């Protein structure tokens, strides 16, 4: 299952950790794969700390906080290859979550994006969206791009504000697609044990959670 987003900084890593934790609580053996890490932070480390999946790995890391294809080019390091990402998938796990970089159509390597990965593997996509102004168009565009490729999309709001305003509530009502999760703002700062116990309640059963309607839980 691909974890993508409507842009950068929408909460993909924390949502990845939440789905991993919820699936593990449901008795699944979970693997997490980060094809390309850019910049100084390690998403793999964050996911390991919060969710403790059975396996987590990063294929390549680039020092500059750029799209992976550009980060490889400016650093002089080998670019990501789509086949290498696909070959890194391990079918012995019940669920493998593959966290992309930025949005769905960010260049990951020469001539391919995470949309190509999903299309080639048949993997459904978790679309992590913002709660605030501008999210409706961004989410609709991402879902449309997935639909054109025959890829199922599951929308999750990456960070619901502690003090929501009118725009957040109207976006909640008007969010394109079917909403499958709402994570509270600051979820990534929770103590790992609290995070793992809380994660199922943020997600619907389609994403291994226990919430029938995330809108009612905010």
Task: Say how far apart CA 155 and CA 178 lie, in whole Å.
Answer: 6
In terms of phi and psi (left: phi > 0; alpha: psi -120 to 50; beta: otherwise), the region of 22 is: alpha
- Residues carrying an active site annotation: 34
Read off the pTM.
0.97
**Residue 183: which domain range?**
2-217
Mean pLDDT of 24-42: 96
Average pLDDT taken over every residue of the chain: 97
Number of separate domains in the chain: 1
The CATH number of the domain holding residue 105 is 3.40.50.300
pLDDT in tens, 112-150: 999 999 999 999 999 999 999 999 999 999 999 999 999
User: Contact at 8 Å (CB) between 118 and 149?
Assistant: yes
Confidence of residue 96 (pLDDT cuts 50, 70, 90): very high
Mean pLDDT of 50-59: 98
Task: Say how far apart CA 15 and CA 5 lie, in whole Å.
Answer: 10
pLDDT score of 217: 85
Coil, helix or strand for 24?
helix
């Amino acid at each position: 299952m691909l974890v993508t987003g409507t842009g950068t900084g929408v909460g993909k890593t924390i949502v990845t950790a939440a789905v991993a934790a919820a699936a593990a609580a449901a008795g699944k053996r979970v693997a997490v794969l980060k094809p390309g890490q850019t910049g100084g932070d390690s998403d793999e480390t964050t996911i390991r700390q919060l969710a403790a999946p059975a396996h987590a790995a990063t294929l390549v890391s680039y020092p500059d906080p750029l799209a992976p294809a550009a980060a490889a080019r400016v650093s002089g390091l080998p670019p990501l290859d789509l086949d290498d990402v696909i070959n890194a998938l391990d079918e012995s796990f019940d669920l493998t979550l593959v966290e992309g970089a930025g949005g769905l159509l960010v260049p990951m390597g020469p001539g391919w994006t995470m949309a190509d990965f999903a299309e080639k593997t048949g993997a459904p996509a978790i679309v992590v969206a913002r709660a605030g102004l501008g999210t409706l168009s961004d989410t609709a565009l991402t879902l449309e791009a997935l639909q054109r490729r025959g890829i199922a999309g599951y929308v999750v709001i990456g960070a619901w504000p502690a003090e929501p305003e009118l725009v957040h509530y109207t976006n909640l009502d008007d969010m394109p697609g079917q909403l499958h999760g709402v994570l509270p703002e600051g979820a990534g700062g929770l103590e790992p044990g609290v995070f793992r116990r809380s994660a199922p309640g943020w997600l619907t059963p389609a994403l291994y959670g226990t919430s029938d309607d995330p809108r009612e839980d905010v």
